[in-house]
């Protein structure tokens, strides 16, 4: 293998890698990601993916909640599922559409709407009584 080809195969990716590391170091200092040495080390020690990690962290600095389309929404619901019972997210203290608390556990006297087992009597027999003795 010629030394020129070896220099191209090794030198070009190494130059890109070092260039991305230097770019990360200077850019981290300019945008306020402190310490810039940490971000340069991540970019250097984790080739290519480290640079993308830096880019994703950098993009979080420019977060504007006023332009976020998902702010205030717990989750997106497809229109075909809009009639299903909503799930409750952490910190959501709103009441369900029926006006009852969704965390309330129904008792035996209060069957849940749409509960198939509420229409059938409970089997109060012990496991020994309910097994077939063959």
In tens digits, the chain (134 residues) has pLDDT values of: 799 999 999 999 999 999 999 999 999 988 888 899 999 999 999 988 999 999 988 887 777 778 777 777 666 667 777 676 666 666 666 665 555 555 555 555 555 555 555 555 555 555 555 555 54
Say what the pLDDT of residue 5 is: 93
Q: In angstroms, rounded to a whole number, what is the distance separating the alpha carbons of residues 11 and 5?
A: 9
Say what the pLDDT of residue 50 is: 92
Residue 89: closest CA among 99, 103, 79: 103
Q: In angstroms, rounded to a whole number, what is the distance separating the alpha carbons of residues 63 and 38?
A: 22
CB-side neighbour CA atoms (13 Å) of 9: 6
Say what the pLDDT of residue 61 is: 79
Residues in contact with 112: Cβ distance below 8 Å, sequence separation at least 6, in sequence order: 106, 118
Please tell me whether the overall predicted TM-score, pTM, comes out greater than 0.85 for this model.
Answer: no
With b meaning 16 or more CB within 10 Å and e meaning fewer, what string describes 55-91? eeebeeeeeeeeeeeeeeeeeeeeeeeeeeeeeeeee
Say what the pLDDT of residue 51 is: 92
| DSSP-derived 3-state class of residue 132 | coil
């Amino acid at each position: 293998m010629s030394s020129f080809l070896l220099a191209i195969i090794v030198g070009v990716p190494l130059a890109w890698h070092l260039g991305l590391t230097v770019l990360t170091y200077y850019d981290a200092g300019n945008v306020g990601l402190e310490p810039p040495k940490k971000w340069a080390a991540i970019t250097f020690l984790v080739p290519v993916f480290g640079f993308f990690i830096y880019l994703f962290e950098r993009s979080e600095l420019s977060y504007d909640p006023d332009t976020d389309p998902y702010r205030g929404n717990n989750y997106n619901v497809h229109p075909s599922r809009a009639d299903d019972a909503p799930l409750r997210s952490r910190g959501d203290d709103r009441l369900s559409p029926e006006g009852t608390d969704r965390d309330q556990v129904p008792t035996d006297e209060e069957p849940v709407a749409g509960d198939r087992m509420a229409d059938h009597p409970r089997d109060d027999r012990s496991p020994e009584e309910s097994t077939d003795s063959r």
